[in-house]
A and B are shown apart, each in its own frame.
Chain A
Amino acid sequence: MPTTAPQPTVAPIIEVENVDFFYGPTQAIHGINLSFPRKQVTALIGPSGCGKSTLLRCFNRMNDLIDNIDVRGRITLNGDDIYAPTTDVIELRRRVGMVFQKSNPFPKSIYENTIYGLRIAGVKDKAVLDESVERSLKGAALWDEVKDRLHTSALGLSGGQMQRLCIARAIAVNPEVILMDEPCSALDPKSTARVEELIGELRKEFTIIIVTHNMQQAARVSDFTAFLYEGFLIEFGQTDKMFMKPKKKQTEDYITGRFG
């Protein structure tokens, strides 16, 4: 199935060119071409098992943890090849942050969780750390709720607060891109609304790529949407246009809930 590379109106930050992805012998992604616009929210949608997470985890090379994988084609971040042998994976992951489906704060204090990325980068200056904690927690709309108990365990937070803490943790290292893999699927509607609101704020500073199964969510938070199906990119475009008037039949069937 041929896929066309659409031309977004904004300058791209991540560009995917002809990417195939293999888990051992099975191919999970087939020849995808895609450009992610800078400082915009792009949603990846598609039925379960279509390769959304796989594609997302290519951008910070999280897939490297799995044995026997193979990536073909080219993925660039600001023009630098992510999979080039010279790429520093640590540096890459600092530039491309990630928020997971299951919120995973470390068994440490809220403070330590927030500055984890800075600590491992060797930052020791207390003033810098304090400043970063406040800025990140404010950025993640969590500051007011936790400012009086920064040094208590993060495990005492509610599920929604934990997820926002994970977002704070990700933005503390000042990444260029934030990847989110179904960040709200384990949250109640109210926490979901807060995170969505937060995403709206974050897009002013960061490029966000979000995987979601929730069509309304995709419609609400994203500027662009990519629809994947069985490893192929079916359609990519501005969210409002795509949801109003999908070009492909499969896309229409999927977003109207006829399958998947």
Chain B
Amino acid sequence: MRRNYWKIGEPWVWATGAALSVTLLIAVTLIAVIMVNGLGVFWPGKLQQLELKDGSKLLGELIQSEPVHRGEGLRRQYKIANRDLYGLDFRWIDETEILRADHPAAAIVLEREENGDFFGFLDAVQASGLELPAGAAPYAQLHAALDQVSVMKAAGHATDQQLSTASYRLEQLRRDQLKAEYQGVDPRSSSYQELLHEQERLKVDFEHLMKQQRKEQTNLRQYQATFSDANGRTSNIVLADIVQAYRPNQLAWHQQVIFYAAKLKELIVGEPRESNTEGGLFPAIFGTIMLIFTMSLFSFPLGVIAAIYLREYAREGVVVRVVRIAVNNLAGIPSIVYGIFGLGFFVYGIGSNIDKLFFPELLPTPTFGTGGILWASLTLALLTVPVVIVATEEALGAIPREFREGSLALGATRFQTLLRILLPMASPGIMTGLILAMARAAGEVAPLMITGVVKLAPALPIDGNFPFFHLDRKFMHLGFHIFDIGFQSPNVEAAKPMVFVTTLLLVLIVLAMSSLAIRLRNRMKKRYTFSTF
């Protein structure tokens, strides 16, 4: 009986089940931790005002509480914000220190361009030039003032835009001039004079725009409001610095939902602020997606074609076997090694030579001879190409011989057979390879750090300036963002929520891209499944 039990293999079935459960559990836990921490970040928490035994007051958002080490009771961590006043964002308070706690309805939260949030109370709005509703409560006045300031700010953005276009064109002209000088164009020639002339004209425009921008800014800074903290310390805050002002203790639940949605939207379409610990992630999202796409553009055709050669045309032999083993083992090379290779080969090797050939006039300033999204994509393509090769080879190899022979017997060439029969039938398998490759690429950070990722990129790799695609540009990336704000930012504690949010976003992007690919694969599978006997 007992022997039978082992013979039938029951325990092994259990073992396989257990192994699967453990794997799933780990994955689910990881995702759950990210979700719980990431999704809660933007929910507007209530502000508590504490009266402490030493007579001082404190206004803050409760973050967590934990037992006091070797002592009685609990201690709580509060986010107290007001970095400009206190120097810290967080504070631990022993529960025994607290005399009284309440939620003052007037407590206000300001999200600011700089120095993090402000928690406190509104005293008065000083905005002589603005039209404020007379006799209204200060909070209503603040919002009216903020609305008007934001309109002015939007006008300022237009100026910023013009300025950046102008500076881009100036840069182009400077390049043209350098090129002309490099080519030895006569400085007295009309084309050269024209160039100088054009530059002068643009410079005048540029100066004019700069002046206008400065004027707009000083004008904006005159609108301020006075706030005070829990202990009555007042502080004047420029309205233009306020991103958002709200009273969390007065928000009804539907207002909280709207607030949350607005924050999410800002996250996805907004620009980062405060050395990336606040604001949106748009440039990083854009960079990540573009990187993965460009990478696929290189690695997919390369991998598929290489696999076709290996499986269909190369003669089975020692060489092919060695190549196959090598390809399979490429996956084991640490990704930083790929990064170093990318830096040495693409950036310094190819990039510098491109510069010498096509942009000699700009040297020693590198154009392609420095990290950029093109080189990072190529490095990642190199890293993921083995995955595509292996998947494609397997897929081609899994097609029963009869299909090949059936096509050839009808007078098809090998190439026609490949195009019309083999590739369509292998396409689901090839797609699987692409999905794996994309997921792998999305998760890589190390090789990017030396081939072109930056903390803050001045411009996106795609924009409205001709030639629209600027593959030489540096870019931002969610994975690097996580590393940067989580471990490199001056205020790691304050950046923690953003780390979770960024992680969640990265996971979601990978999920979205791969589910798209999986849907495509299922469509192909349905069309090209093998006949069964």
Residues on A lying within 8 angstroms of B by beta carbon are: 60, 62, 65, 67, 90-91, 93-94, 97-98, 100, 102-107, 116-117, 119-121, 153-155, 159, 162, 166, 169-170, 173, 186
Contacts and interface: CB of A to CB of B under 8 A. Distances in A.
B315 A173 contact: no
Interface in B402-442: 402-413, 416, 420-421, 424-425
A106 B408 contact: no
B533 A104 contact: no
Interface string B314-348: 01100000000000000000000000000000000
B410 A173 contact: yes
Interface of B: 315-316, 400, 402-413, 416, 420-421, 424-425, 527-531, 533
Contacts of A116: 407, 410, 412, 420
Tell me the interface secondary structure of chain B in the complex: helix
B425 A120 contact: no
Contact of A186 (B405, B425, B533): B533
Given A100-B402, A104-B402, A159-B533, A91 B408 contact: no
A21 to B, nearest CB: 18
Contact of A162 (B315, B403, B527, B531): B531
A166 B527 contact: no
B529 A100 contact: no
Given A67-B316, A104-B531, A107-B530, A97 B400 contact: no
A9 to B, nearest CB: 30
B507 to A, nearest CB: 35
A98 to B, nearest CB: 4
A159 B531 CA distance: 10
A67 B315 contact: yes
A227 to B, nearest CB: 25
Contacts of B530: 107, 155
B420 A107 contact: no
Given A62-B405, A120-B413, A173-B410, 13 more contacts: A65-B408, A90-B411, A93-B410, A97-B410, A98-B409, A104-B405, A106-B407, A107-B424, A154-B531, A155-B529, A155-B530, A155-B531, A170-B409
B410 A120 contact: yes
B425 A107 contact: yes
Contacts of B407: 106, 116, 120
A62 B409 CA distance: 7
A169 B412 CA distance: 13
A94 B406 contact: no
B529 A107 contact: yes
24 contacts: A62-B408, A65-B404, A90-B412, A90-B413, A91-B411, A93-B408, A93-B409, A93-B411, A100-B409, A104-B403, A104-B531, A105-B531, A106-B403, A106-B420, A107-B425, A116-B407, A116-B410, A116-B412, A117-B411, A117-B412, A120-B407, A162-B531, A169-B410, A170-B410
Given A106-B421, A107-B424, A107-B530, A65 B411 contact: no
Contacts of B416: 120
B409 A60 contact: yes
Contacts of B425: 107
A91 B408 CA distance: 11
Nearest to B414: A65
A61 to B, nearest CB: 10
A93 B425 CA distance: 23
Given A62-B405, A67-B315, A107-B425, A102 B410 contact: no
Contacts of A93: 408-411
A107 B411 contact: no
Which of B402, B407, B531 has the most chain A CB atoms closer than 10 A to its own CB? B531
A119 B529 CA distance: 22
A131 B357 CA distance: 60
A186 B533 CA distance: 9
B327 to A, nearest CB: 22
A170 B420 CA distance: 17
Contact of A104 (B406, B424, B529): B406
A107 B421 CA distance: 8
Contact of A97 (B409, B413, B421): B409
Contacts of B424: 107
B404 to A, nearest CB: 8
A154 B412 CA distance: 19
Greatest chain B CB density within 10 A among A60, A102, A107, A169 is at: A107
